[in-house]
Amino acid sequence: MKSRLFIQVALVMITGLVLFAVMVSVFWSRVFDARFNVALDKLTSDVSVLLLPAAGVPDATQQAAIQRIAEGLSVNLTVYGPDSRLIGSSGPPVPLSLQPVTEGQWEELIDGTHWISRLADGRIVIADLSLLGFAGDSLAVTLVFGLLVLLVFSLMYPLVRRITRRLERLQNEVEAIGTGDLSRRVTVEGDDEIAKLAASFNASTETIEDLLNRQRMLLANASHELRTPLARIRMGLELLDTKETPERRAGLRQDIGELNALIDDLIAMARFDAGAAEICFEPLDLLTLVSEEVSRVEGGTVTGNHVEVSGDRRMLCHLIRNLLENAQKYGAPPIEVSVHTNENGVQLKVSDQGPGISPNEQQQVLEPFYRGVGKQNIQGSGLGLSLVARIAQVHGARVVIEDVPKSAVSIVFPRP
């Protein structure tokens, strides 16, 4: 829990408040409590030596004495007669308390800042010490409290700066990445929210960098792959000017079909990379889809059970078609397709009698435009299995490539 940022901030705030409270308490006990006790001692001694005039003198004389004693002690004095009549006060009169008062002793009232005493002649003196130390000292008190605030700030500054410094470093590193340097990564420090934010930035930057690299590779390879059918079409058109034959027309149609298929695959790959592929999931009978596609392939056979999977019909048909075309181009007949369930899920398996894919290339063939060793001259763009892998991924399935006892590519879907 200590690694959480909000706990660190809360601890810093609580520590600052505790420090300030302790300093104010010490200051109050050392300064104001001391002055309070001194004033109380003077008050008791001054009254006890009868600085107040006798009870029978006029109220005006007593008022003057009350005013003089109160100013000397910086307190407010209120005097009542034995009959509870107000004799005089140096400030706002303090109401007479109804509690019994022992003669010759000072007793604290409920609020702690008012003290009361009964003189021998029956008069009652009430001293209000609530303003003690503030009258005339407001500037000093303000300065002292200001110094206390600065002291607490100086003690807490390193803790606060430790948190904000990490945020500043994160900001500077993110700004550097924002200039286009996607190879950079921000520094992950600690194990709190800031560290998790930095890790999220790194993950996002890595994803963006990978996406841009894929787009660059796709563009570079696409431009190269498009040149071949375009060159053949241009040459075929030039030959048509000299001599038109059915074979040349068929060749042009084949080149145009290849070019159209390549463009479709490029568009599909770009949509997958950009996360813009339109997907509509629905319950589908996988064996029925496979049978429809295999019916277009000469010599293909289908076995298995009717199993329902959730998927996009158009994409799954594209996946099955690419697997069949891959088996036709790089394998050998007969092509066998099976659909069955096992402990791993629903397995769609396309196998042939070809040499298969070597273990060293089984991951590489799932990358766009990759051609296996010795297969560079076979017609195709190298996008077939990479699209199969992308379609399988969006369906929560995985691609399994086998080369023994015979060449096979399987798509394992999760159980319904």
Domains and their CATH numbers in the chain = 1-181 (no CATH), 193-274 (1.10.287), 282-413 (3.30.565.10)
**Mean pLDDT of the chain, nearest integer:** 76
Q: What is the pLDDT of residue 415?
A: 81
With left for phi above 0 and alpha for psi between -120 and 50, is residue 112 left, alpha or beta?
left
Lowest mean pLDDT among 38-42, 105-109, 189-193, 383-387: 38-42
Q: Which residue has the higher pLDDT, 228 or 58?
A: 58
Query: Which residues make beta-bridge pairs with 304?
Result: 339
Structure confidence by residue, pLDDT tens digits, 34-74: 666 666 666 666 554 446 777 778 888 888 888 888 887 77
Q: What is the pLDDT of residue 50?
A: 47
Query: Which stretch of DSSP H or E encloses residue 127?
Result: strand 124-128
Q: What is the pLDDT of residue 291?
A: 92
Going 240 to 241 to 242 to 245, the CA torsion angle's sign is positive
Distance of CA 112 to the CA centre of its chain: 52
* Percentage with pLDDT > 70 across the chain: 73
Q: Which residue has the higher pLDDT, 47 or 120?
A: 120
* Percentage with pLDDT > 90 across the chain: 7
* One-character DSSP codes across 239-254: HHHH---HHHHHHHHH
Q: Does residue 338 carry a pLDDT above 70?
A: yes
Which of 73-87, 96-110, 157-171 shows the highest mean pLDDT? 73-87
Going 97 to 102 to 105 to 108, the CA torsion angle's sign is negative
Three-state secondary-structure class, residue 88? strand
What's the mean pLDDT in 71-78? 81
Amino acid symbol at 226: L
Q: Which residue has the higher pLDDT, 143 or 292?
A: 292
Q: How far lies 212's CA from each of 206, 219, 303, 384, in Å?
A: 10, 10, 42, 21
Task: Report how far residue 263's alpha carbon sits from residue 259's, in angstroms, rounded to the nearest whole number.
Answer: 6
Count other C-beta atoms under 10 Å from residue 121's C-beta. Answer: 13
Q: What is the pLDDT of residue 135?
A: 45
Structure tokens at 206: 């890595």
Q: What is the pLDDT of residue 352?
A: 87
Q: Does residue 124 carry a pLDDT above 70?
A: yes
Amino acid symbol at 269: M
Q: Does residue 19 carry a pLDDT above 80?
A: no
What's the mean pLDDT in 368-385? 61
Q: Does residue 122 carry a pLDDT above 70?
A: yes
Strand 300-304, strand 335-342: pairing:
parallel
Phi, psi for residue 30 in degrees, rounded to 5: -80, -30
Task: Report how far residue 231's alpha carbon sits from residue 237's, in angstroms, rounded to the nearest whole number.
Answer: 10
Q: Which residue has the higher pLDDT, 146 or 327?
A: 327
Q: What is the pLDDT of residue 374?
A: 52
Structure confidence by residue, pLDDT tens digits, 359-373: 777 777 777 666 665
Query: Is residue 314 very low, low, confident or very high in pLDDT (cuts 50, 70, 90)?
Result: confident
Q: Does residue 252 carry a pLDDT above 50?
A: yes
Lowest mean pLDDT among 208-217, 223-232, 343-352: 223-232
Cα(first)–Cα(last) distance of the chain, in Å?
40
What's the mean pLDDT in 330-341? 87
Q: Which residue has the higher pLDDT, 174 or 256?
A: 174
Q: What is the pLDDT of residue 339?
A: 92
Q: What is the pLDDT of residue 109?
A: 75
Amino acid symbol at 410: S
Q: What is the pLDDT of residue 372?
A: 62
What's the mean pLDDT in 389-411? 84
Residue of 314, 322, 290 lying closest to 399 (CA atoms) = 322
Q: Which residue has the higher pLDDT, 196 or 339?
A: 339
Q: Does residue 1 carry a pLDDT above 50?
A: no
